[in-house]
Structure 1
Amino acid sequence: MIKADNQILVIFGASGDLTGRKLLPSLYELFLRGLLPDRLVILGASRTAYTDEEFREQQRNHLLPSVQKKNLDEATLDNFLKHVYYVAFNSSDTTEYPTLKKRLKELREQEDLPDKVVYYLATPPSMYEVIPQCLKDNRMHRAADKTGYRRIVVEKPFGTSYESARALNEHLRSIFKEEEIYRIDHYLGKETVQNILVLRFSNGIFEPLWNRNYIDSIEISAAETLGVEKRGGYYDTVGAMKDMIQNHLMQLMSFVAMESPSVFDPEPIRDEIVKVFRAVRHYEKWEMDDMVVRGQYEGYRKEENVNPNSETETYVGMKFFIDNWRWSGVPFYFFTGKKLPAKTSEVIINFRSTPHTLFVGQCSGGSCNRLVIRIQPDESITLRFGLKMPGAGFKVKQVGMDFRYDSLASASLPDAYERLLLDAMLGDSTLYARSDALEASWKFIDPILQHWKNKGVEGLFPYEPGSNGPKETFRLGATPDSDCGCHF
């Protein structure tokens, strides 16, 4: 595999949870597999006053459990931590950025590095405009010459509405070029999500059937058994629609629905994703109550840091259509929620049934032949179809042909952040959202959120924790699947 150029990765908000829980462990895994640049500096930047050694010790404590679990010696960890440095400064104060600028210059000279820097914003969204502006004010947003570069990785949530997302895009594009902006969605870093593209476009047995002539419906779900836990303050301002559907499930849907790109390069792939979002049929106002169901689990308003009169949804089920040649008339369904019976994320392709029933026990309806792509847990693919039961007669039973994704490799599947961090260092934006795609998805979601805001608690259906969600979901018409433990 091609290695990224020697460079500096600056992590803003380095003393926070995301860095210790995801970013440094993912970088360490890349280091173990020999995928990091030969000379890489990982520079943590935050307000907390650490020396290099103190920050390394903090990150060692985050990494040790996984190191011990894999029976790796600490010498390997020490070698990795030699790449890690730290600078303390106030990232919201533009007058303190010369401290960061000086530190970058020192490290480049010390490690003999080119002028290539990736900025990672592991910060609250309120800093997504502040930090880029401060970088520009201090002339840190451009490399000194054409051999260098600057890139910036922005975490979700990317905006809270169409207007806020558009404003943030315009602000970032006034400082960085579009190809230098990496809007991260960790769902797209999952191996099983990427495998959807390979499954579709490398196999002649699926792609000819992947259209309105043979597919009855498509269901995309992400269910959790837990509630909001300690994230009540954040979640109560976001809700299931923004937290899961606007980014994760919309992006996942685009992989399922997109046309084949002309070549497997970032921009042709992202062009096809935008086409899907633009083809999604927007709801008429009178349709929203029938096509979108929102719910809130009982007891949510008593959770820590949650408004006791909260109107925030913890469950969303929705039915929609994509108006193009391939998908005209095929219903798509999204289902996501908290406090549901099983933790699962999956895509279900329901193929059309046979036009005539010939055998005893033969299944009828759109759920007979289905392809189930399980994203988590137990990453797998299952194809369901009917076969004859042994014995006299022609009694039919539905069976499954299963494939577990971990059978392709002895090692565990890589974390999503491993792939996405490596891609940012390589300059590969395939799995990162482009500005026009984000804005198109927000255009679809925004009217629904406004409709809910106008209605208040009316139409916010309660459901019991551990249940399948609000009973009103069944009016959407999705086919229940008793075999997969799904919540719809």
Structure 2
Amino acid sequence: MVAPQQNIPTVFAAFGATGDLMRRKVIPAIFHLYTKGELPSRFRVIGFSRREWSDEQFQGFIKEVIEEHQKGPVAGLEPFLEVFRFQRGYFEEPRSYEELKAAFDACDREWGVCSNKLFYFSVAPEFYEGILRDISKHGLTEPCAPGEGWTHVIVEKPFGMDSNTAKAIDKLLGQLFEEDQIYRIDHYLAKEMLQNILTFRFSNNLFELQWGGRLIESITIRLLEKIGVEKRGSFYDGVGAFRDVGQNHLLQMLALIAMDVPESFDAGEIQRKRADILHALKVLKPEEIEAHTFRAQYDGYREIPGVTPGSSTETYFKVRAYLDHAKWRDVPIFLESGKRLGASQKEVVVTFKHPTPCLCPPGQPHHKNEIVIRMEPQEEILVEFWVKRPGFSFATEQRMFRYLHRPVSEHVPYVEEYAKLLLDCVRGDQSLFISTEEIRAMWRFTDPILEAWAKGTPTLATYAPDSKEITEIARV
């Protein structure tokens, strides 16, 4: 099937081609694009891995992944499998990059064009520097001819472990590539309801004129997960909940909710506005970290394989933040996330101030309006309002405007987000990718919190898994 627009001959080079991210997200996402007719007609995936596989064995692996994801055999899969080729290699071996370059050249000769190159790294961050230097050194990023063929590099989170490591990665990327070649993935930005935040705010005049501290009392951004750490003990114990989702997902959600109106939906303009509001985050002082942050770990976490005995890694956190911005000054923003917290609840809640003077009926409850933009358990936007209850007495009751984006059954988690991001990489649209300035602003805010937590401030609490009780206890 052929992409209807920008049918660009593209080679997708996947480093760590047999890894977990490829299996769970990338390969199903490529298949999703294929079934929707969004892949270029000349599109090839070259899997780079140290396994001693042939093309046929790699294609067998791809078939297994697709059928596992589709929960059964898939008819007519052969044309899709032909997209995939395998290149055995080692990250630290120069000869491997020479052989990969030869595979690129063979593809260009077969197609009779200078193809575009898309590099994806499903590898641990410590391998980035060696791989990036070697693909540049061995000419893999060079165009076939002047003005022909682009090179895009996809970098997965985490974007470092703190400001210093993030700057080191960015410095290296900046030495080898232009900013418009670098695509830093935070798959949350590709979620339908996060994209809908911009549309809801800027394509309607219902709320945006008064969007800010004049009418808004607080913002709560929460990602409460049902799942636990499970088989990710070794990885998660070195990261923790705040690095895993707070430093990136939650702050990106905050940026979309609080950013100023962009002059256009141009990718650079959207990234600048997000970066501006993230730079406005007030860095917490030591005494504020004690008072305005909370961290906890669920019972049983330390028994998970790969977790350090006596680990102080948080699996839940809550943080109160503020923006040093005229429109948002003194509006508290609550960032909350954790694992093993019962049913998943992922949403942004915008709470409006109680009207002053209050025209509530005597003896009736005082109330505040809320807007809820929800991703789970279902994708929807709720606008809460109050009306007179039917009858002779002047009594109020709560009502809700509800927009259901789509039934839960139509959403394929991770797959459609990665499909959207991969397609945008091919098309050269960076709107849903994170810029250098955004990364710097996010780490500027999170570094002091992580440093204080590493020193034991505040004390790590514990909680019973599969319950939301800790969310009610946490006070910031």
TM-score (norm 2): 0.94
The residue correspondences of 1:284-433 to structure 2 (distance < 5 A) are 284-355=285-356, 356-359=358-361, 362-364=364-366, 368-406=368-406, 412=411, 415-433=416-434
Does 2:9 align with 1:6?
yes
Give 1:21 deviation, angstroms. Answer: 1.7
Q: Map of 1:84-483 to 2, 5 A cutoff?
A: 84-144=84-144, 145-355=146-356, 356-359=358-361, 362-364=364-366, 368-406=368-406, 412=411, 415-455=416-456, 459-468=459-468, 470=470, 473-476=473-476
What's the TM-score once normalised by structure 1's chain length? 0.92
C-alpha distance in 2, partners of 1:242/1:179? 26
User: For residue 482 of structure 1, what is the aligned residue in structure 2?
Assistant: none
| Cα distance in structure 2, aligned partners of 1:90 and 1:181 | 23
Q: Does 1:50 pair with 2:53?
A: yes
Q: Give the residue type in structure 2 aligned to 1:15.
A: T
State the distance in 1 between where 2:17 and 2:131 align.
14
**Alpha-carbon distance change, 35 to 410 in structure 1, aligned in 2, over 3 angstroms:** farther
Report the alpha carbon displacement of residue 7 of structure 1 after superposing the two structures with TM: 1.1
Q: In the alignment, what sits opposite 1:59?
A: 62
Distance 2:409 2:51 in 1: 40
- CA displacement 1:446-486 (0-9 Å, x = unmatched): 01111111227x6111112133354785432xxxxxxxxxx
For the 8 Å contact 1:293–1:473, the answer to whether it is kept is: no
Give CA-to-partner distance per residue, 1:424-462, whole Å, 9 cap, x none.
Answer: 111111111111110111011001111111227x61111
Alpha-carbon distance, 1:304 to partner: 1.8
Give the RMSD, CA atoms, in angstroms. Answer: 2.0
Task: Go from structure 1 to structure 2 and tell me whether the alpha carbon gap of 1:471 and 1:105 turns closer, same or farther (over 3 Å shift).
Answer: closer
Q: Structure 1 unaligned runs (5+)?
A: 477-488
**Partner Cα separation in structure 1 for residue 347 and residue 7 of structure 2:** 32
- Opposite residue 217 of structure 1, the aligned amino acid is S
Cα distance, 1:66 vs. partner?
4.6
The alpha carbon displacement at 1:67 in A equals 4.5
Partners of 2:88 and 2:96 within 8 A in 1? no
Structure 2 residue matching 1:358: 3-state secondary structure: coil
Structure 2 unaligned residues grouped into runs of 5+: none
Tell me what 2:30 maps to: 27
AA aligned to 1:425 is V
SS in 1 for 2:406: helix
Matched-pair contact (CA < 8 Å) for 2:10–2:115? yes
Cα 1:422/1:293, change in 2 over 3 Å: same
Q: Is the 8 A contact 1:3 1:35 kept in 2?
A: no
Is the CA contact (8 Å cut-off) linking 1:279 and 1:324 kept in structure 2?
Answer: yes
Give the residue type in structure 1 aligned to 2:437. D
Question: Which stretch shows the higher mean deviation, 352-361 or 123-132?
Answer: 352-361
SS at match of 1:160: coil
1:68 positional shift: 6.1
Aligned pairs, how many? Answer: 469
Q: Does the CA contact (< 8 Å) of 2:17 and 2:47 recur in 1?
A: yes
Letter in 2 for 1:358: C
In 1, distance between residues paired with 2:82 and 2:268?
Answer: 36
Shift in Å at residue 111 of structure 1? 2.8
The alpha-carbon deviation at position 260 of structure 1 amounts to 1.4
For the structure 1 residues 471 and 374, does the alpha-carbon distance in structure 2 shift closer, same or farther, using more than 3 Å as the test?
closer
Answer with 435-444 or 413-422: which moved more.
413-422
Aligned sequence identity (%): 33
Distance in 2 (CA, whole Å) between partners of 1:295 and 1:397 is 37
